[in-house]
Amino acid sequence: MLGQMQDHPLLISTLIDFAARHHHEAQIVSRRVEGDLHRYTYADAAKRSRRVANALDRLGVAFGDRVATLAWNGYRHLELYFGITGSGRVVHTINPRLLPEQIAWIANHAEDQVVCFDMTFLPIVKGIWSHCKTVKHWVALCDADKLPADTGIANLVSYEALLAAEAETYDWPQFDERSAAALCYTSGTTGNPKGALYSHRSTMLHAFAGALPDSLGVSARDSILPVVPMFHVNAWGIPYGAAMTGAKLVFPGAALDGKSVYELMESEQVTMAAGVPTVWLGLLNHMAQHGLKFSTMKRTVIGGSACPPAMIKTFHDDFGVTVVHAWGMTEMSPLGTVNTLKQHQLALPVEQQLDIMAKQGRAVFGVEMKIVDPDGNELPWDGQHSGDLLVKGPWIISSYFKGEGGDPLVDGWFPTGDVAAIDADGFLQITDRSKDVIKSGGEWISSIDVENIAMAHPAVAMAACIAVPHPKWDERPLLVVMKKPGAQATAADILAHFEGRIAKWQIPDDVAFVDAIPLGATGKMQKNKLREQFKGHALPGA
Ligand code: ADP
């Protein structure tokens, strides 16, 4: 017997319609590449999203065709999110920090029909447009009079000219909720990038889950500043969750330095922000240097790589902001776990709470997870055993776009490539990416543990712990350190800081100082580059 309730497909168009009707006055504020602040409402965003849909009809873009974006976080990007998906096309967000050849490769692989780009990225487009065989239209996200006449790019139009010609009414089509909605390629540190193709259903369920109070806790009382880019895993789903709840959105555009982000947070009364750990270093430095405080900020979601406990403590002690540590990946839309305390943990001393908050958090409803040993046997949730982490759920990948790389699943589970422990309360702790694990004399050393300790040293701005080949132990840890500007510290000072904080055999054998640690296109430390650079490093006593 079937239930007797209405059967409506879960479609992304319903989000922007809901926001326009119930939160028409809620604001969307964007720092534009033009430099100024743009301000409008969900009602305006909905109208312009429908203009986008009409424009795509006029350009002859078919249902399911890919429409790409190369853009910062901003209101035009948001309109594209809803206009493209709502009308049944697929929004393909491309990471502009990739090399131009990689961008062209991805656009060709995705068979993008249209590419919409911020003017910042005009030089990239000039270099690649003739190599992108499937792209029929290039749309510059600017006013008609800002479009230079001599770009040489064929079929180039300005976004504002395109939208001006269209009506702001549009009947969103109804279709199968399992239809593709958005495409995002993994960074592909090894091999070619692979596409994760989200559906309307997966995106909607992910938005519901992301809005839950023990998850990102998005609400109509929030003013949210996503620093995490809309070109990487849909800014962790925040644009969708914000429309679902009517939260105010504050987009930083290209101005991601500490001063600009701080000023925007204060002027727009931001209550919640989200980003990878490296983006917060600039903000915290700026605030410390100028003795600044927040007046409205309550919490910041940090994920993408491990958030150092020292950063969680600084946010808590110095700025009264709760860090919500989260873990996920492109293949998971991305939410997997989010760290919020349980009722029985609320009475614990603050120091113990901060220890728990340094873990990656608890599974969001919808995500099943398990850890297994090398033979695939499930390991206990005791916070001690660590093993390969596998996940499954309705917003987790079942296969890559165009079947790239074959079937990624093992008995229906997706192997994340992360090594983790899970404690009795269900809190996940990532110890490493499997390829970053350091194997010393048959034992594993967690590079994240070592980095977290190093990051608590006052002279250290950033630290990466990597394996260096060793004749006796196979591999030993080397700590690569970027010092804070003007800070003084020797290798011995930093190694002394590990005494008593970690088992002796886990302390790095040496410290190498560098001017900068290479970061990838999504702000993560590129340890593969460091391993290459330091593979011949002579460890003391080796
Ligand atoms: P990529 O394209 O590099 O795979 P993702 O954003 O999908 O980029 O990266 C996902 C990976 O990032 C995870 O598998 C994990 O290794 C790492 N990661 C994400 N969040 C965290 C976190 N909070 N702590 C530690 N590692 C994390």
Whether residue 479 contacts residue 540, with contact meaning beta carbons closer than 8 Å, is answered with: no
**What's the rounded Cα separation, in Å, for the pair 475 and 337?**
31
pLDDT in tens, 360-398: 999 999 999 999 999 999 999 999 999 999 999 999 999
What are the helix and strand counts (H, E) for the chain? 16, 25
**444 included as an active-site residue:** yes
Q: Looking at residue 189, what is its pLDDT?
A: 56
Kindly report the average pLDDT of the chain as a whole number.
95
Q: Looking at residue 190, what is its pLDDT?
A: 57
Distance of CA 166 from the midpoint of ligand 1 (Å):
40
Would you say the CB of residue 431 lies under 6 angstroms from ligand 1?
Answer: no
Distance of CA 379 from the midpoint of ligand 1 (Å):
22
pLDDT in tens, 11-36: 999 999 999 999 999 999 999 998 99
Average pLDDT value for residue range 260-265: 97
Q: Looking at residue 320, what is its pLDDT?
A: 97
Percent of the chain surpassing pLDDT 70: 99
Q: Looking at residue 280, what is its pLDDT?
A: 93
Whether residue 138 contacts residue 157, with contact meaning beta carbons closer than 8 Å, is answered with: yes
HEC assignment per residue over 378-443: ECCCCCCCEEEEEEECCCCCCCCHHHCCCCCCECCEEEEEEEEEECCCCEEEEEEEHHHCEEECCE
Whether residue 340 contacts residue 316, with contact meaning beta carbons closer than 8 Å, is answered with: no
Q: Looking at residue 114, what is its pLDDT?
A: 98
pLDDT in tens, 130-158: 999 999 999 999 999 999 999 999 999 99
Distance of CA 418 from the midpoint of ligand 1 (Å):
8
**What's the rounded Cα separation, in Å, for the pair 71 and 69?**
6
Question: To the nearest 5 percent, what fractions of the chain are helix, strand and coil?
Answer: 30, 25, 45
Neighbour count for residue 487 (Cβ, 10 Å): 12
Q: Looking at residue 212, what is its pLDDT?
A: 97
Q: Looking at residue 368, what is its pLDDT?
A: 98
Would you say the CB of residue 327 lies under 6 angstroms from ligand 1?
Answer: yes
DSSP H or E run through 52: helix 42-58
Closest alpha carbon to 460 in 509, 421, 500, 511: 511
Q: Looking at residue 375, what is its pLDDT?
A: 95
Q: Looking at residue 147, what is its pLDDT?
A: 95
Q: Looking at residue 444, what is its pLDDT?
A: 87
Confidence of residue 523 (pLDDT cuts 50, 70, 90): confident
Average pLDDT value for residue range 524-528: 90
Average pLDDT value for residue range 335-342: 98
Q: Looking at residue 122, what is its pLDDT?
A: 98
Dihedral angle, C-alpha 455, 456, 457, 463, nearest 10 °: -10
Average pLDDT value for residue range 258-274: 97
Choosing from 266, 444, 475, 484, the catalytic residue is 444
Percent of the chain surpassing pLDDT 90: 90
Confidence of residue 541 (pLDDT cuts 50, 70, 90): confident
Q: Looking at residue 524, what is its pLDDT?
A: 86
Q: Looking at residue 286, what is its pLDDT?
A: 95
Residue 191 has pLDDT above 90, yes or no: no
Residue 292 has pLDDT above 90, yes or no: yes
Q: Looking at residue 278, what is its pLDDT?
A: 87
Confidence of residue 441 (pLDDT cuts 50, 70, 90): confident
pLDDT in tens, 34-77: 899 999 999 999 999 999 999 999 999 999 999 999 999 999 99
The answer to whether the bond into 349 is cis (omega within 30° of 0) is: no
- pTM of the predicted structure, to 2 decimals: 0.93
**What's the rounded Cα separation, in Å, for the pair 138 and 155?**
6
Q: Looking at residue 471, what is its pLDDT?
A: 87
* Ligand 1, pocket-test mutation among 184, 216, 323, 327, most atoms within 8 A of CB: 327
The protein residue with its alpha carbon nearest to ligand 1, atom 6, reads 329
Average pLDDT value for residue range 404-433: 95
The protein residue with its alpha carbon nearest to ligand 1, atom 16, reads 433
Average pLDDT value for residue range 284-308: 96
Choosing from 331, 392, 416, 473, the catalytic residue is 331
Average pLDDT value for residue range 303-322: 96
Q: Looking at residue 522, what is its pLDDT?
A: 82
Distance of CA 276 from the midpoint of ligand 1 (Å):
10
Q: Looking at residue 51, what is its pLDDT?
A: 98
